[in-house]
Amino acid sequence: MSNLIGFIIITAIQVIGGLCLFLFGMNMMGDSLEKTAGLKMQSIIESLTGNILKGVVVGALVTAVIQSSSATTVMVVGFVSAGIMTLKQAAGVIMGANIGTTITAHILRLNDVSSENFLLAFFKPDNLMFVLIIIGMLLLYLAKSNTKKESGGIFIGLGLIFAGMMFMSDGLGNIDKSVFETLFAFCANLPLLGILIGTVVTATIQSSSASVGILQAVASTGAITLGGAIPIILGQNIGTCVTAILSSVGATKPAKKASVLHLVFNLLGTAIFIVALYGICPLFVNGWHALMQRGVNSGTIANFHTIFNVTTTLILLPFTGLIVKLVNGFSKNAKQEPTTPKLDDRFLYSPAVALGQSKSMVLSMLELAKKNIILSEEAVLHKNKEAADEIKRIEKSVDTLESELSSYLVKITDKNLSESENKLTMGYMHMISDIERISDHASNMSDIAKTMISSNDKFSKGGRRELSNMFLAIYELLDTTMEAVCTNDTKIASQIEPKEQVIDLFKATFKLKHLDRLAKKKCSVESGVCFLEMINNLERVADHCSNVGVTILQIHSSEKLFNPHEYLKIESIRQTEEYSRTYNEFMQKYYNPLIKEND
């Protein structure tokens, strides 16, 4: 009795330990693949707004990179919830994710490689795993570039996947073959039972790739027939929907629809294959029952897994619009809920995607800040009280966005980030602080406008002309800043500082001209104070634009700390031909024509 208990414990340790290694390896390989792809992931995601066929391709590619159809689908739920993607576009990505997740099974089929000669034996998992781990460790500790170091994680993760498969196979191999034969005979005779088993196992570990890997490990015992394996594979595609469904709990109606869409597609695919394999094929295919009794190996399981998902996609793709209408019909009479912000926690499954959404919100903040600066000109120079009030409303929105984005970026830092992702996260934290301050200066100018409206003060003709021209220069500077953030281009970012220097010259010159106007009694003391406050606020707006530009430059530099003031002390950045050209062009466009004019 004690020997039996010991056998059970040792076997359980081997199988469970192997499964843990397998899951850890999958997670490590997926994380490393994503980091190696880096921020290119976001450009892939941005193509999701294309047609449905493009969505299928993108869904397959993204899932192949992050090694999880569940993670891809959860992110899709987030995109739909945020209103970034329509339900029909999501359908294509979901189908593509089902195809992309089959790649892992094809990697694991190497377990079936014959070991009769050295070259083939080299690719056996029990040999290849050591080679992969050795290569990974060498890259991790000896490579100089971060990309190559992250590539080391890919090799180590893949090696651990093979190690986990080997331990699971060895543990399962110790169990009497008749146990599996009996179990899978039930699945073959009662397909619904097999589907239920596949669903429950996949839902429990929340990974269809891992579930298929377990099935491939069991197949190494030689106890599985095609008829016993098929129902479990069908069930695995249903079980993988659980993660997305759980992520939509408490979410908006669009998010719930996206998760239901995933489930409906996979249920329809399973239903189609049940009808075909258990209803039609036995009637029209000679020897069908004998075929279903044949033994399967890892390769057979991988092949069927791919055939199932590709065929289901090809069959259902033409009916996508109809299926979407069906899903919409489930809640057509329900009250429409507002979409959630773009900063959805679901995107944290992929830090690169989360950073891409953060970038969108940074740009949204910058657009609102620029709108406030434009309203400032309208409020001050045209004494528009409605514009002054609108500035205050927008300022509250900017403050809210800064708070939400700051919290979200902190959540991103908790993830396993590459060095470039970490620098970008820190960079965005610095940027949003400067952008919020730009909006604060617009709020200051709103107060100035209200003061002038209540006191009926006005600027002199020369003062109005100077402020108007300074606003035009600030608008171009803000546009350059927005383009630099949008493109993350250091060449564009380097144009911000020379333009900011011209704004500094504006302030110094206009201050002197203003004092001259005061001496000549061309404006009142009260309006003069307002004028000085205006040029001070506009100059500070330019300073914060400069900080954003420097942050972008430092993101691409070797420096780890962000310090715009120290960076700008470096004389070499002002000694370039590009710096001088930008400075002179900006001077010629805004400063020189104005300085030649007289009041």
532 shares its domain with 389: yes
354 shares its domain with 323: no
Residues 555, 561: Cα–Cα separation, whole Å? 9
Measured CA distances, 246 to 33, 195, 240, 255 (Å): 26, 20, 11, 11
The Cβ-side half-sphere exposure at 97, using a 13 Å CA radius, reads 30
Supply the range of the domain harboring residue 171.
24-329
Average pLDDT over the chain reads: 83
Which residues are CB-neighbours of 198 under 8 A, at least 6 positions away? 211, 231, 232, 233, 234, 235, 236, 238, 239
Q: Is residue 1 part of a domain?
A: no
Token representation of residue 108: 């694991």
300 shares its domain with 441: no
HEC profile for 509-555? HHHHHHHHHHHCCCCCHHHHHHHHHHHHHHHHHHHHHHHHHHHHHHH
Cβ atoms of 120 and 114 within 8 Å: the answer is yes
Using only C-alpha atoms, what is the Rg of the chain? 31
Residues 7, 173: Cα–Cα separation, whole Å? 12
Q: Is the pLDDT of residue 251 over 70?
A: no
What residue spans of 143-248 are helical by DSSP H?
Answer: 146-173, 177-189, 191-205, 208-219, 226-239, 242-247
Residues 406, 412: Cα–Cα separation, whole Å? 10
Tens digit of pLDDT for each residue in 157-176? Answer: 888 888 887 888 777 777 76
Q: How confident is the model at residue 187 (pLDDT cuts 50, 70, 90)?
A: confident
The length of the chain in residues reads 599
Q: Is the pLDDT of residue 115 over 60?
A: no
Q: Is residue 521 part of a domain?
A: yes
Beta-ladder partners of 295: 225
Which residues are CB-neighbours of 585 under 8 A, at least 6 positions away? none
Q: Is residue 492 part of a domain?
A: yes
Angle at which helices 525-555 and 496-519 cross, to 10° = 170
Tens digit of pLDDT for each residue in 67-93? Answer: 677 777 877 877 777 677 788 888 888
Instruction: Name the residue with higher pLDDT: 268 or 284.
Output: 268
Cβ atoms of 85 and 48 within 8 Å: the answer is yes
What amino acid is encoded at 586 in this protein? F
Instruction: Name the residue with higher pLDDT: 416 or 330.
Output: 416
Q: Is residue 6 part of a domain?
A: no
Q: Is the pLDDT of residue 218 over 70?
A: yes
Please state the domain count of the chain: 2
- Inter-residue long-range contacts of 149-155, CB under 8 Å, 24+ positions, other chains counted: 150/32, 150/35, 150/36, 150/418, 151/32, 151/36, 152/32, 153/28, 153/29, 153/31, 153/32, 153/35, 154/29, 154/32, 154/33, 154/36
Find tokens 């999958």 and name the residue. 26
pTM of the model: 0.74
Find tokens 């980030």 and name the residue. 417
Q: How confident is the model at residue 103 (pLDDT cuts 50, 70, 90)?
A: confident
130 shares its domain with 241: yes
Beta-ladder partners of 225: 295
The Cβ-side half-sphere exposure at 572, using a 13 Å CA radius, reads 1
434 shares its domain with 466: yes
Which residues are CB-neighbours of 453 under 8 A, at least 6 positions away? 383, 385, 388
- Percent of the residues in the chain that have a pLDDT greater than 90, as a whole number: 27
Residues 140, 144: Cα–Cα separation, whole Å? 9
Cβ atoms of 174 and 194 within 8 Å: the answer is no
Q: Is residue 337 part of a domain?
A: no
Q: Is residue 3 part of a domain?
A: no
In terms of Cα–Cα distance, which of 30, 8, 167, 192 is closest to 100? Answer: 30
273 shares its domain with 414: no
Q: What is the pLDDT of residue 416?
A: 79
358 shares its domain with 470: yes
Q: How confident is the model at residue 477 (pLDDT cuts 50, 70, 90)?
A: very high
What residue spans of 417-520 are helical by DSSP H?
Answer: 419-455, 461-487, 490-493, 496-519
129 shares its domain with 212: yes
In terms of Cα–Cα distance, which of 15, 29, 39 is closest to 354? Answer: 39
What amino acid is encoded at 155 in this protein? F
CATH number at residue 434: 1.20.58.220
Q: What are phi and psi of 222, to 5 degrees?
A: 80, 15
Q: In the chain, what is the straight-line distance between the N-terminal and C-terminal CA atoms, in Å?
A: 106
Angle at which helices 577-586 and 496-519 cross, to 10° = 40
Cβ atoms of 310 and 51 within 8 Å: the answer is no
Least confident of 304-318, 430-444, 557-571: 557-571
In terms of Cα–Cα distance, which of 397, 436, 431, 420 is closest to 150? Answer: 420
Q: What are phi and psi of 154, to 5 degrees?
A: -65, -50
Tens digit of pLDDT for each residue in 508-537? Answer: 888 888 777 777 777 777 777 888 899 999
Residues 565, 480: Cα–Cα separation, whole Å? 20
323 shares its domain with 377: no
Which residues are CB-neighbours of 351 under 8 A, at least 6 positions away? 34, 412, 415, 416, 417, 421
DSSP single-letter state for residue 207: -
Q: Is residue 453 part of a domain?
A: yes
Q: Is residue 13 part of a domain?
A: no
Q: How confident is the model at residue 38 (pLDDT cuts 50, 70, 90)?
A: low
Instruction: Name the residue with higher pLDDT: 356 or 305.
Output: 305
Token representation of residue 515: 């004092």
End of a domain among 266, 296, 329? 329
Token representation of residue 309: 């998902």
214 shares its domain with 73: yes
Which residues are CB-neighbours of 272 under 8 A, at least 6 positions away? 312, 315
321 shares its domain with 385: no
Instruction: Name the residue with higher pLDDT: 275 or 65.
Output: 275
Q: How many beta carbons lie within 10 A of that of residue 453, not counting itself? A: 15
Q: DSSP 3-state assignment of 21?
A: helix
34 shares its domain with 147: yes
pLDDT average, residue stretch 254-269: 87
Measured CA distances, 205 to 421, 470, 477 (Å): 29, 61, 52
DSSP single-letter state for residue 587: I
Report CA torsion sign: 132, 133, 134, 137: positive
End of a domain among 300, 329, 358? 329
Q: How confident is the model at residue 561 (pLDDT cuts 50, 70, 90)?
A: low
Q: Is the pLDDT of residue 250 over 90?
A: no
